[in-house]
Each structure stands twice: as C-alpha cells, then as structure tokens.
Amino acid sequence: AVVSTQSTGGEKMGDVKSKLANDIGTLDFKVTKVDTKIKVWRSEVRLISQQKLTWQNSTHAEKLFSEYAVDGVYTGSGDLWGLNPIQHMGGNKRNYMLIVDLGGLFKVHTVKVWNRVDCCQSQSLGVMVYADEEFLGGLNDEKLLYTFRAGEDVYARKIYLKQSIPNWMNLREVQVFGTGPFAEEEVYN
C-alpha cells in the first residue's frame, strides 16, 4: 500500500483521506436517519383534515360555513351559533356537496363524520362519502358518529360528502385519518 507523505498542516494525506471517509460515513448515517424518520412520519396514521380548505354549494343563514366541518371543534354542546358551530347547507337539494381538500395525495385510512347533537340528525340522511372517486359509505340511520374505513389502497386528494336525496346536510365535524403526503409516482407506478 502506498501512503502519501504530503503534508496538509502537519497531517499526512492518508490521515486526511481516512478522516474524510469517516466524516462522509457519519453524514451518510445522519441522512439515512432523517430519511427513516420521514418514512415513519409518513406511515403514521394521523388526522389529515383539520383546518384544510373546504367548499360547499350553499351556506345556511350565511353563517354556518363549510370551514366549520374541519375546525376541530366537536364538543357535546348544542351551541351551533357560538362555541360549537356546525357546517350547514343552505338548501335541501339533491347533489349538494361538501368538499374537503386534503392539500396533497394521502392514503386514506378512516373518515369520521360527526352529526349534530342538538337536533335534526335525520337531516343528513342520504349523504354519501367519497375519497376522490372511491365510495366509502353513506349516512343511512340517525346517530352521532359515522365511521367509514377505507380499503387497503385508497389514495385521495379530496373527500366529498354528497347529498344523494333531497335533504339537508348539517354536520358537526368531518375527520379524515391517513398517511402521507405522497408523490404521484410513488403511488401510481
């Protein structure tokens, strides 16, 4: 083996190369650690819908906005005009919908739909829940909480709640749990 005797401030070139190789190995380990943390973070099922952008066809009383469906407030209070505002459509028409934009491509695990507690639970009957084009289920009986589990490989950018019959839609909260975000090529290739 040939060891250089050139000096760089008192160190032999062989020593410098050895130190540089150790530093690169350490850096590579640190990058791998960061990559692993990102993979773990992306694989953890968590709430992905809170405070996301929303849209609905119309708004009841010009006060019960679509944003209330993802505001994180879903207490047992019936104070829909104050502490526990609800999302409420401005009409009882078929095909009215609420859309939650997840802000990226996510693997959807579960969608929870919280009905209002003060009254009128039957007004949301007929609502169908979709993750992009994938049908997850419908609201077909009066209860406070509906839980829809997605299939194994359901990825979506938006959650659609669509009224399938001429009925109102007024919900306390919509929670979407999942992982991601993912790039298109990670999912569809």
Q: What is the pLDDT of residues 53-76, one digit of tens each?
A: 999 998 887 778 888 889 988 777
> 39-48, 80-89, 151-160, 169-178: lowest mean pLDDT where?
80-89
Q: Dihedral angle at the C-alpha atoms of 168, 142, 54, 88, nearest 10 degrees?
A: 40
Q: Which residues, 6+ apart, have CB-to-CB distance to 123 below 8 Å?
A: 92, 167, 168, 169, 170
Average pLDDT, the chain: 83
pTM here?
Answer: 0.76
183 Cβ contact partners less than 8 Å away, ≥ 6 residues apart: 105
Mean pLDDT of 137-147: 95
Give the C-alpha separation, 72 to 160, whole Å: 18
DSSP helix/strand/coil, 81: coil
Cα end-to-end distance, the chain, whole Å: 48
Count the residues in the chain: 189
CB 114 within 8 A of CB 66: no
pLDDT at residue 13 is higher than 50: yes
Give the whole-angstrom CA distance, residue 53 versus residue 35.
29
Contact 188, 105 (CB under 8 A): no
| Residue 42 vs residue 97, higher pLDDT | 97
Residue 107 has pLDDT above 90, yes or no: yes
